[in-house]
A and B are shown apart, each in its own frame.
Chain A
Amino acid sequence: SQQGEEDPQALSIQEGENATMNCSYKTSINNLQWYRQNSGRGLVHLILIRSNEREKHSGRLRVTLDTSKKSSSLLITASRAADTASYFCATDAGGQNFVFGPGTRLSVLP
């Protein structure tokens, strides 16, 4: 069963625009993570945000967490063609293991 679900399933934007992806989950969590996967490659860890945190930044990435709404968002600012990838959120639902959503496919057009 999927704990987290990303929205939208697919997103196309122009280079230089911002991209926002959302993740909703069902039960309380300790931590939420975002990953990127380029086509044919493994997943790469982007950011981990803990349940007592509301926002984290890493370069052009900004992640927010709203535990009252059970949702998180990933914002990529000033997108580049190299940001084209699938993005996954993963939640731990209080346990040790993380459950991944089906992902958002982001296409950044030059």
Chain B
Amino acid sequence: NAGVTQTPKFQVLKTGQSMTLQCAQDMNHNSMYWYRQDPGMGLRLIYYSASEGTTDKGEVPNGYNVSRLNKREFSLRLESAAPSQTSVYFCASSAFNYGYTFGSGTRLTVV
């Protein structure tokens, strides 16, 4: 099925550990995004990539890095996880001026 695929779906990390969240889309969209969702705060943009080869910071980039590996894939890396990064992470993609297609999310707990 066409769409956005995120892996893993669940992850528990210890403080200080690192991990990479993977995201791939098969809709040939130029733009890709990483959001985090916390209770009562809606979605906050971490990083985005307007096109292959470019990445930019969003509202809450501290503690994260991203890589736009190719047009399909956009990964999010936590170098040294902190409890404040406990959240649900969503990847999304879009064509210009159209709605976003979201993945099903990664529920991350940092203990």
By a beta-carbon cutoff of 8 Å, the part of chain A in contact with chain B is: 1-2, 30-31, 33, 35, 40-45, 48, 88, 90, 96-103
Contact = CB atoms under 8 A, between A and B. Distances in A.
A35 B97 CA distance: 15
A4 B98 CA distance: 18
Nearest to B40: A102
Given A42-B90, A96-B50, A97-B58, A2 B100 contact: no
Interface of B: 4, 31, 33, 35, 40-45, 48, 50, 58-59, 90, 92, 96-105
Contact of A98 (B40, B96, B100): B100
A30 B97 CA distance: 9
Question: Which residue among B31, B44, B99 has the maximum number of chain A CB atoms within 10 Å of its CB?
Answer: B99
A102 B102 contact: no
Question: Which residue among A31, A88, A90, A100 has the maximum number of chain B CB atoms within 10 Å of its CB?
Answer: A100
Given A31-B97, A48-B99, A43 B104 contact: no
Given A88-B42, A101-B42, A102-B41, A48 B103 contact: no
Contact of B102 (A43, A48, A101): A43
Given A96-B31, A101-B42, A44 B102 contact: yes
B48 A97 contact: yes
A42 B45 contact: no
Contact of A88 (B40, B43, B45, B48): B43
Nearest to A98: B100
Contacts of B103: 42
Question: Which residue among A1, A30, A45 has the maximum number of chain B CB atoms within 10 Å of its CB?
Answer: A45
Contacts of B41: 102
B39 to A, nearest CB: 9
B105 to A, nearest CB: 5
B45 A99 contact: yes
